[in-house]
């Protein structure tokens, strides 16, 4: 029965010591979860088997199976100052375990030969044997009991590797270092109660190298405690820091909580300390949010009998999920508020969270004495009341780590502009009534978009509202006693005031309507203002403008349709990179053969040069069958040519002498149609007379000239043939042949060459011998060096050379030639 009563108070420690393995033989083996987890000498009370929380139970109800069999070692004083040495009556027996006990005496230090800490030569010399003999015992010592002596220091006792318990209660310790026993993985119990300990190092207790289960630091004089001594890595029974002067917890090594790790669990008592402000675990453990505190859920903390101030700092932890609340407080622990006065004596379990407030001082950023700033985390708001304080501008507000919104009451002041303060967007409620506000700028209205309530009543100089207000809830925007100008710029007001039916107690503002005078806002009707006439006019103007622009665009497009078509076809041809179908001819040359200079140039220079390059050429006045249907043949030839080379001279589109339309007109038409229809066909236009587009009547040719893709005859670089070749592309039908060109005078043309090169005019062949054909085709003709052949110029006799000065561009060629002719 007694056991049950104890288990009910599972975490209260007066029950713990009553139990020992001797008294209760009904035990079963048990291991702790820390570094001592390989121990075989511990047992748990059989009663825990039936507990729901079996491991919690065993942590408090365990014992060592050797308990009571320890062999005592004695301590003998060696100085009058209270030093002693440990003595043994027998030699070391390795199957025994030992206990050093010396209680209620006057020891001022641990015995000098415990871990041989004492380096004083006089003692070491005198007790050399004891120092030497005792070393064998060290690993077999399981308990130190020096309670009620006058020990002032805790030496390094890490040599006692099997140490299980240390009892130093009732001594005069003032400080405990985190190195004194940090390697003792068997250490289960330490009792330092009733000392004068002021400080213990961080990580003295909770470190991963220790497996402490019962720790008693009660009845000391510590004023602060490092949180890393509380947050044990392994399960424990009780950490007792009660009856100290602890007022705050620290985290000096700035360690953070590993949120994916399990700490504890165990029970920690802070009873009867001086904690006024509830520890902010979120800050202490560097947590991102309070809910991560769930790690501590299995810890029990006892904060009873502290002068706890139930203020805003309490709210975050109390508002967490109820189970955290329950675990921390456990049912039997009632934390009683000591302050503030209105909560004194009330258990925090009964405190209304709304009453957990902090009054923020000037040091926190509150404008004193004009304002009263109250942090109320349960609302998530800081209440700042600066009403009736003769303020000239919007005040600064304090910062709080618990609340993020502002409730600002600055009514009844002298404020005339709303300063762009950084916290505007965090305002939830703002009371600006009874001020002197002249205008609410748009950006301020934007920053206030999330404010649930805005009160701008009684600002007599305010004549307009920012348009951004139309998105606000009219019923939560208070505007009593305002006279707002409702004109064509603010027709939105009409929609806004009717957007929602408000509470009957809501008071609307007045509208000052041009030509209509004052009226209640609800009666404002924008239709009476004739606002839209100007708008319709603007709209009409705009539409007409757009129409005109569209018309201009389409006229231009019509006018330039051929140019656009050519450009489009060009682009399409550029993109076209499929295999080109085979044509019979590479080039169809279209020119007016009645024009002598053109004919001369075509037949003597162009033809020769192209043939030399092994282009296959259709030349109408050479290749047409005499007597055939010219148009049909030309059409077929063009259809079978990859390129049409048009030599555009002034005479190209001229009427023939017999009054008929020139042949060239049809040639051009066929070429043009082919160019439009077949992606891989091309027109190369040679502007023989440097005609300008305006000279040409036929639109596609004009467009061709405009778009500027022609070969101009007045070519300064004198590389017309070169350019023509580039535009034509390489001759298509012939494979690359070895370089056995005609220019090699000593080599006979090969058979292949003779076979593939179309018959070459004898005249031209003759030039080759006399003049470098290279030169001719590279730089075209050079007039002075041109060798005329009289026999080939039969038509010249029929049609005399024109003497009018239409020679400017063919000058270099034709005119000079004819002059030469005349001379002869
Ligand atoms: C050591 O202790 C065991 C049991 O305590 C005892 O049986 C044994 O005789 C002792 N050995 C010596 C050498 O004293
Ligand atoms: C041990 O204590 C020292 C001194 O107080 C401190 O600097 C050190 O961080 C502590 N060790 C650990 C592991 O926290
Ligand atoms: C420490 O000693 C005191 C006094 O004897 C006792 O009440 C307390 O339970 C002990 N603490 C531990 C952890 O054994
Ligand atoms: C946190 O704990 C987990 C699980 O114990 C461990 O894997 C991880 O390394 C720890 N992280 C840090 C930063 O210690
Ligand atoms: C602001 O303060 C005035 C004067 O104390 C008060 O009448 C008014 O109700 C307060 N406004 C708000 C929104 O609390
Ligand atoms: C108002 O303040 C905000 C933040 O402080 C800033 O981003 C914004 O540019 C300011 N606007 C004006 C008009 O000063
Ligand atoms: C208002 O709230 C919305 C939605 O939460 C947010 O996107 C916006 O930035 C807030 N406006 C201001 C001025 O803070
Ligand atoms: C409307 O506002 C514009 C500028 O925002 C101003 O120039 C104009 O005078 C206003 N019109 C009326 C009728 O108030
Ligand atoms: C109207 O406002 C009054 C006081 O402002 C409030 O008591 C009442 O509940 C409101 N009624 C409705 C229907 O919101």
3-state SS, 466-531, equals CHHHHHCCHHHEECCCCEEECCHHHCHHHHHHCCCCCCCCCCCCEEEECCCEEEEHHHCCHHHHCC
Q: Which of 503, 504, 507 to mutate to test the pocket of ligand 9 (most atoms within 8 A of CB)?
A: 503
What is the percentage of the chain residues whose pLDDT exceeds 70? 81
Q: Is the pLDDT of residue 57 over 60?
A: yes
Between residues 37 and 243, the one the model is more confident about: 243
* Same domain (yes/no): 606, 737: yes
Say if residue 801's pLDDT is above 50: no
- Whether residue 267 lies inside any domain: the answer is no
Higher pLDDT, 434 or 815: 434
DSSP 296-363: GGGEEEE-TTS--B-SGGGHHHHTS-HHHHHHHHTTT---B--BSGGGTT-BGGG--GGG--EE--GG
Q: Which of 34-48, 412-426, 755-769 has the lowest mean pLDDT?
A: 755-769
Percent of the chain with pLDDT over 90: 40
User: Among residues 335, 327, 281, which one has the least CA distance to residue 304?
Assistant: 335
Is the distance from the beta carbon of residue 12 to the nearest atom of ligand 3 less than 6 Å?
no
Among the candidates 38, 64, 90, a domain finishes at 64
Q: Residue with structure tokens 């002598």?
A: 596
258 in ligand 4 pocket by Cβ < 6 Å?
yes
431 in Cβ contact with 409 (< 8 Å): yes
| End-of-domain residue from the set 529, 548, 564 | 529
- Closest residue by Cα to atom 10, ligand 5, is 409
Are residues 525 and 579 located together in one domain of the fold?
no
Mean pLDDT of the chain: 81
Note whether 629 and 726 are same-domain residues: yes
Residue 188: name the closest of 59, 73, 15 by CA.
59
Domain identity same for 496 and 608: no
Residues 6+ apart with CB under 8 A from 119: none
Let me know if residue 303 belongs to a domain: no
Tell me whether residue 6 is in a domain. yes
Residue 404, domain member (yes or no): yes
Query: How far, in Å, from the CA of 503 to the mean position of ligand 9?
Result: 6
pLDDT band at 324 (very low <50, low <70, confident <90, very high): low
Would the CB of 422 count as within 6 Å of ligand 6? Answer: yes
> Quick check: is 680 in a domain?
yes
**Residue 470 shares a structural domain with residue 610:** no
Kindly state the average pLDDT of the residues 211-216.
94
Closest C-alpha to 413, from 381, 389, 385, 431: 389
Please indicate, yes or no, whether residues 524 and 384 belong to a single structural domain of this protein.
yes
Is residue 413 in contact with ligand 5, taking CB distance under 6 Å? Answer: no
Angstrom distance (rounded) from CA 447 to CA 431: 15
Average pLDDT over residues 412-420: 92
Q: Which domain holds residue 455?
A: 358-529
Q: Give, for ligand 4, the residue of 261, 285, 295 to mutate: max count of ligand atoms closer than 8 Å to Cβ.
A: 261
In this predicted structure, what is the pLDDT of residue 527? 83
Task: Please give the pLDDT value at position 77.
Answer: 93
Dig out the tokens for 401 from the structure. Answer: 């780590």
Q: Which residue lies with its CA nearest to atom 12 of ligand 6?
A: 420
Ligand 9 atom at minimum distance from 503 CA: 1
Q: Taking 70 as the threshold, does the pLDDT of residue 397 lie above it?
A: yes
Counting Cβ atoms within 10 Å, is residue 492 exposed (0-12), middle (13-18) or buried (19+)? middle
Separation of 469 CA from ligand 7 center, angstroms? 15
Q: Structurally, how many domains does the chain consist of?
A: 3
Ligand 8 neighbourhood includes 530 CB (under 6 angstroms): no
Q: Which of 300, 290, 298 is nearest to 263 (CA)?
A: 298
Q: Whose CA is nearest to atom 14 of ligand 6?
A: 420
Predicted confidence at residue 198, as pLDDT, reads 96
Q: Are residues 477 and 588 in the same domain?
A: no
DSSP codes of every residue in 594-652: TSHHHHHIIIIIIHHHHHHTT--EE-HHHHSPTTS-HHHHHHHHHHTEEEEEEEE-GGG
Q: Give the end-to-end CA distance of the chain in Å, rounded to a whole number.
A: 151
Indicate whether 508 and 609 sit together in one domain: no
User: Which residue's CA is the closest to the ligand 3 atom numbered 14?
Assistant: 191
Q: Look at residue 495 and tell me if it is in a domain.
A: yes
Angle of helix 561-575 relative to helix 663-677, nearest 10 degrees, comes to 50
Confidence bin at 512 (pLDDT 50/70/90): very high
DSSP 8-state class, residue 812? I
Whose alpha carbon is nearest atom 10 of ligand 7?
450
Considering the domain architecture, whether residues 479 and 587 belong to the same structural domain is answered as: no
The H-or-E segment that residue 406 falls in is strand 405-409
Please tell me whether residues 697 and 626 are part of one structural domain.
Answer: yes
Sign of CA dihedral 638, 644, 650, 651: negative
Write down which residue in 501, 529, 557 finishes a domain.
529
Among 88, 92, 95, the mutation site with the greatest number of ligand 1 atoms within 8 A of its Cβ is 95
205: in domain: no
Query: Cβ(360)–Cβ(398) under 8 Å?
Result: yes
Is 425 close to ligand 6, i.e. is its CB under 6 Å away?
no
Query: For residue 734, is pLDDT > 60?
Result: no
Minimum mean pLDDT range among 248-262, 652-666, 725-739, 807-821: 807-821
Nearest CA to ligand 1 atom 5: 96
What does the chain come to in residues? 824
* Mean pLDDT lowest among 469-473, 480-484, 764-768: 764-768
Residues 651 and 799 in one domain: yes
Q: Do 639 and 758 share a domain, yes or no? A: yes
What is the rounded average pLDDT of the residues 326-340? 66
pLDDT band at 406 (very low <50, low <70, confident <90, very high): very high
Quote the longest CA-to-CA distance of the chain.
155
**Nearest atom (ligand 3) to Cα of 13:** 9
For helices 663-677 and 699-707, the axis angle rounded to 10 degrees is 60
Residue nearest to ligand 1 atom 9, measured at CA: 93
What's the DSSP call for residue 757? Answer: S
Instruction: Give the domain CATH number at 461.
Output: 3.80.10.10
Model confidence at 799: pLDDT above 60:
no
pLDDT category of residue 709 using cuts at 50, 70 and 90:
low
Any atom of ligand 6 within 6 Å of the Cβ of 443: yes
Confidence bin at 803 (pLDDT 50/70/90)? very low
Q: How far is the CA of 179 from the centre of ligand 2 (A)?
A: 9
* Residue 222: inside a domain: no
């Amino acid at each position: 029965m007694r056991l049950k009563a104890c288990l009910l108070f599972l975490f209260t420690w007066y029950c713990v010591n009553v139990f020992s393995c001797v008294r209760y033989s009904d035990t079963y083996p048990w291991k702790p979860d820390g570094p001592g987890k390989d121990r075989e000498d511990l047992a748990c009370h059989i009663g825990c088997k039936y507990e729901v929380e079996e491991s919690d139970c065993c942590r408090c109800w365990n014992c060592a199976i050797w308990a009571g069999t320890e062999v005592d070692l004695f301590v003998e004083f060696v100085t009058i100052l209270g030093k002693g040495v440990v003595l043994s009556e027998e030699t070391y027996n390795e199957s025994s375990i030992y206990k050093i006990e010396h209680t209620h005496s006057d020891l001022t230090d641990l015995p000098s030969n415990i871990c041989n800490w004492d380096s004083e030569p006089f003692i070491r010399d005198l007790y050399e044997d004891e120092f030497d003999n005792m070393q064998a015992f060290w690993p077999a010592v399981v308990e130190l009991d020096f309670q009620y002596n006058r020990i002032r220091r805790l030496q390094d006792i890490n040599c006692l590797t099997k140490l299980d318990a240390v009892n130093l209660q009732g001594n005069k310790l003032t400080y405990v270092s985190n190195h004194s026993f940090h390697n003792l993985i068997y250490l289960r119990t330490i009792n330092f109660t009733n000392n004068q300990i002021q400080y213990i190092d961080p990580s003295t207790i909770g470190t991963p190298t220790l497996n402490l289960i019962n720790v008693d630091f009660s009845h000391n004089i510590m004023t602060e405690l490092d949180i890393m001594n509380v947050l044990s890595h392994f399960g424990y029974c009780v950490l007792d820091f009660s009856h100290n002067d602890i007022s705050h917890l620290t985290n000096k090594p700035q360690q953070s909580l590993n949120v994916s790790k399990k700490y504890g669990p165990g029970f920690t008592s802070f009873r009867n300390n001086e904690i006024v402000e509830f520890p902010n675990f979120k800050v202490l453990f560097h947590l991102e949010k309070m809910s991560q505190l769930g790690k501590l859920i299995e810890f029990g903390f006892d904060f009873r009998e502290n002068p706890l101030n139930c203020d805003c700092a309490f709210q975050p932890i109390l508002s967490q999920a109820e189970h955290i609340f329950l675990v921390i407080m456990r049912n039997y622990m009632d934390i009683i508020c000591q302050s503030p006065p209105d909560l004194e004596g009330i258990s925090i379990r009964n405190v209304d969270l709304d009453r957990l407030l902090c009054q923020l001082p000037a040091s926190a950023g509150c404008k004193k004495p004009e304002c009263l700033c109250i942090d109320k985390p349960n609302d998530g708001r800081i209440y700042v009341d600066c009403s009736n304080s003769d303020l000239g501008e919007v005040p600064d507000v304090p910062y709080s780590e618990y609340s993020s919104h502002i409730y600002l009451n600055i009514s009844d002041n002298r404020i005339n502009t709303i300063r762009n303060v950084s916290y505007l967007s965090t305002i939830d409620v703002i009371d600006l009534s009874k001020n002197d506000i002249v205008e609410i700028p748009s950006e301020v209205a934007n920053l206030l978009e999330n404010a649930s309530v805005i009160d701008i009543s009684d600002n007599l100089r305010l004549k307009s509202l920012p348009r951004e207000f139309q998105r606000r809830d009219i019923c939560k925007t208070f505007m009593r006693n305002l006279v707002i100008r409702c004109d064509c710029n603010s027709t939105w007001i009409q929609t806004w005031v009717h957007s929602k039916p408000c509470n009957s107690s809501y008071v609307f503002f007045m509208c000052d309507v041009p030509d209509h005078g004052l009226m209640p806002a609800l009666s404002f009707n924008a239709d009476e203002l004739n606002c839209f006439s100007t708008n319709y006019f603007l709209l009409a103007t705009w539409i007409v403008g757009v129409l005109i622009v569209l018309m201009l665009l389409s006229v231009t497009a019509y006018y330039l349709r051929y140019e656009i078509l050519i450009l489009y076809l060009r682009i399409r041809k550029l993109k076209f990179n499929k295999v080109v179908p085979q044509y019979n001819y590479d080039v169809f040359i279209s020119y007016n053969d009645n024009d002598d200079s053109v004919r001369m140039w075509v037949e003597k220079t162009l033809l020769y040069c192209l043939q030399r390059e092994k282009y296959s050429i259709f030349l109408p006045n050479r290749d047409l069958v005499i007597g055939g249907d010219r148009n049909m043949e030309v059409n077929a030839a063009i259809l079978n040519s990859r390129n049409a080379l048009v030599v555009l001279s002034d005479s190209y589109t001229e009427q023939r002498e017999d009054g008929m339309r020139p042949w060239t007109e049809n040639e051009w038409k066929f070429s043009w149609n082919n160019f439009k229809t077949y992606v891989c066909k091309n027109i190369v236009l040679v502007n023989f007379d440097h005609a300008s587009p305006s000279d040409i009547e036929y639109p596609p040719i004009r467009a061709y000239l405009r778009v500027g893709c022609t070969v101009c005859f007045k070519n300064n670089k004198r590389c017309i043939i070169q350019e023509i070749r580039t535009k034509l592309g390489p001759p298509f039908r012939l494979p690359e042949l070895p370089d056995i060109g005609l220019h090699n005078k000593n080599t006979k043309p090969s058979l292949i060459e003779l076979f593939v090169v179309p018959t070459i005019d004898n005249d031209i062949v003759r030039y080759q011998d006399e003049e470098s054909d290279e030169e001719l085709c590279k730089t075209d003709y050079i007039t002075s060096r041109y060798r005329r052949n009289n026999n080939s110029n039969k038509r010249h006799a029929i049609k005399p050379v024109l003497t009018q000065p239409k020679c400017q561009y063919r000058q270099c060629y034709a005119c000079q030639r004819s002059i030469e002719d005349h001379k002869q």
